[in-house]
Structure 1
Amino acid sequence: MVGELMAEADSVDADHDAEDAARRCADRKHLAMPVTDKEHRVVGIFTVDDALDIIERAENEDAARHGGAEPLNRPYLSTPVLTIMKSRIVWLLVLAVGATLTVSVLDAFEDQLEAVVALALFVPLLIGTGGNVGNQAATTVTRALALGDVRTRDAIKVLWREVRVGLTLGSSLGVLALVITGGVYGWDIGLVIGLTMLVVCTMAASAGGLMPLLGKSIGADPAVFANPFIATFVDAAGLIVYFLIAMTVLGI
């Protein structure tokens, strides 16, 4: 009987998020899906071609915003130079304002830098490492959000996982920094660098994992909360941690 062969159609609501619907269509390998209204009446059809176009557009946006720019939405070589500049200038201004936090931190700890000049040598290393760790975590979680592997309700799970990842990375890099730096600049400086590396990596991984979830929870694009803002946050917070550890260990 036909009734025995019938099954509930895998449909998508008309007011559902387009990217989520596209990934659902692609993941389940449908050639097309019916689109229904709130009363489950068919109002249209969603094809795999539509899904692939939406996914490609979304991934282009994520890739651009991870690098601190807006998507061009047209071939690069045919895009006017002024348009490319406009796609980047806003983010650069935002990051420049954020970078003033780093300058303020350095100014606040000027006396400590004068007391132990060697501390200034490791500032680029520490903030660079922290920014990279945060970016890695943010990119991973943003991708997981896009694929539906992670939801905003998984924030605690993501935080606990990234804390462990950060601790592991920080321990490995911290021991290496302690040995190398201690052998050249003295073991007290080596201890400062090693401990800072441990704390900064843990902090950066945690922030990198949570910020995309925060963006998703307030209805913003998770990619916007990813790399550019994480780098700015980790730079300022990492320097504060660095100088506090140096003051404690070196007694300055």
Structure 2
Amino acid sequence: MTAPPSSKNCPVKLVKELIKTLDPEERKITLSLLGYPERSVGRLMTPDYIAVEKDWTVKEVIEHIREVGKDSETIDVIYVVDDKGIFIDDVRIREIILANPDKKIEDVIDNRYIALNVNDDQETASEAFKMNNRVALPVLDNNNILLGIVTIDDVLWITQEEFSEDIQKIGGTEALDEPYLEIPILKLFKKRVVWLIVLFLSEMLTATAMAYFEDEIARAVVLALFVPLIISSGGNSGSQASTLIIQAMALGEITIADWFRVIRRELMSGLMLGAVLGIIGFTRIILWNMIFHTYDPHAVVLAFTVGFSLIGVVLWGTIAGSMLPIVLKKFGADPATSSAPFVATLVDVTGLVIYFSVAFIIMHNTLITSG
């Protein structure tokens, strides 16, 4: 940081100057020791900026920039503070260059600024940059003391890291903190095995669900032929919905408060998607039976069972996939952990229950009884 020489806020200034001498890794550790939350703006800010006082003339500001500008993160924006370090405004270098050299900075500023609090989440910073055309934003404490700045390149780096982390979680693995080709194989194994075990144990519930309907399957073995079709359709629809909602939440397009609008849209989407797949499934069974007589004499009943089951399973998949990220966000968890494999596993189990329940309702007086 380069603060005005007349700054009287000695403790804050001293800390800033000390932080300035540290390398990035040491700076990160120091900021954590200062008590800033792990994913807060305080961990992201830099003290390398140019600050001036409002009673300085434009000529004095330009001379100050020439003197210390080479050590600053950016000189595109100059920050105006009072003699106690309290933030007043920021001003673009263009406005300073074009102003009369004898004009005071207080006559150049417009008191319209956007600032971040040191305890704000890094996502808040990312959103602020997306909504405003800024290359850097000031970081203030609760007393409006200017502590540092956050630049857009820092935010882009964090956004890239978060994007990579979310993609890995969506794929059903823990986030890798090293490049794939450089991470030790044992560490890579540990990152992947936990989720695989969780998903495997969850999938075992599929066998439990099928065992529950063992009698129905024994009487109508043909039902088992369509189990992969049913559960994959539900899992695919759930994964689609989950991915769309996670992305929309990451971009700030939806929030927890929008849950009702989301579920209303997914109800309509699920019904339409399920109806399309249901019609295709119904048609396939009827045509297959007409050509090969595979399902005689209960082809129509079986076709209705598969068709209505697909509607129910796809509808449930879209609802579960869209609501899980929102529920996780509500309880403070990372929405990306409702990854596609996790949603698919959940829908697999419940999809089987839906399928065999529909089969029992439609076929209990025909195929299941006579089988």
TM-score category, normalised to shorter length: over 0.9
The structure, 1 or 2, with the larger RCO (C-alpha pairs under 8 Å, 6+ apart) is 1
Query: How far is the alpha carbon of 1:160 from its aligned partner?
Result: 0.5
Q: 1:206 to 1:50 in 2, by over 3 A?
A: same
Paired position in structure 2 for 1:66 = 170
State the partner residue of 1:109: 213
Q: Tell me the distance in 1 between the aligned counterparts of 2:128 and 2:249.
A: 13
Q: Is the 8 A contact 1:142 1:223 kept in 2?
A: yes
The match for 1:244 is 357
Q: Post-superposition shift, 1:57?
A: 0.6
Q: Give the drift of 1:84.
A: 1.2
How far, CA to CA, are the matches of 1:164 and 1:147 in structure 2? 23
Query: Gapped runs of 5+ residues in structure 2?
Result: 1-102, 290-294
Whether the aligned pair in 2 keeps the contact of 1:13 and 1:36 (CA below 8 Å) is yes
2:197 to 93, 98, 101: 93
Percent identity, aligned pairs only?
A: 36
Question: Normalising by the residue count of structure 2, what TM-score does the alignment of the two structures yield?
Answer: 0.65
C-alpha distance in structure 2 between counterparts of 1:4 and 1:166, whole Å: 57
- Equivalent pair of 2:172/2:339 in contact (CA under 8 Å): no
Deviations 1:151-196 (A, max 9, x none): 0011111111111111110011111111111333311111111001
**Match of 2:340?**
227
How far, CA to CA, are the matches of 1:246 and 1:154 in structure 2? 35
How much has 1:3 moved relative to structure 2? Answer: 5.4
* Matches of 1:3 and 1:220, distance apart in 2: 47
Structure 2 match to 1:82: 186
Instruction: State how far apart, in whole Å, the 2-side matches of 1:112 and 1:76 are.
Output: 47
Give the structure 2 partner of residue 142 of structure 1: 246
Task: Show the counterpart of 2:263.
Answer: 159
2:276 matched residue in structure 1: 172
The CA RMSD over aligned residues, in Å, is 1.5
Mark the runs of 5 or more structure 1 residues left unpaired by the alignment: none
Deviations 1:198-234 (A, max 9, x none): 0111111011111100111111100102323211210
Larger radius of gyration: 2
CA deviation profile, 1:128-173 (whole Å, cap 9, x unmatched): 1111100110110001111110000111111111111111100111
* Aligned counterpart, 1:188: 301
Shift of the alpha carbon at 1:27?
4.3
SS of the residue 1:70 aligns to: coil
Judge conservation of contact 2:274–2:313 (CA < 8 Å) in 1: yes
Return the match for 1:32 from 136, 154, 157.
Answer: 136
Spell out structure 1 runs of 4+ moving beyond 6 A.
none
Q: Is the 8 A contact 2:125 2:155 kept in 1?
A: yes
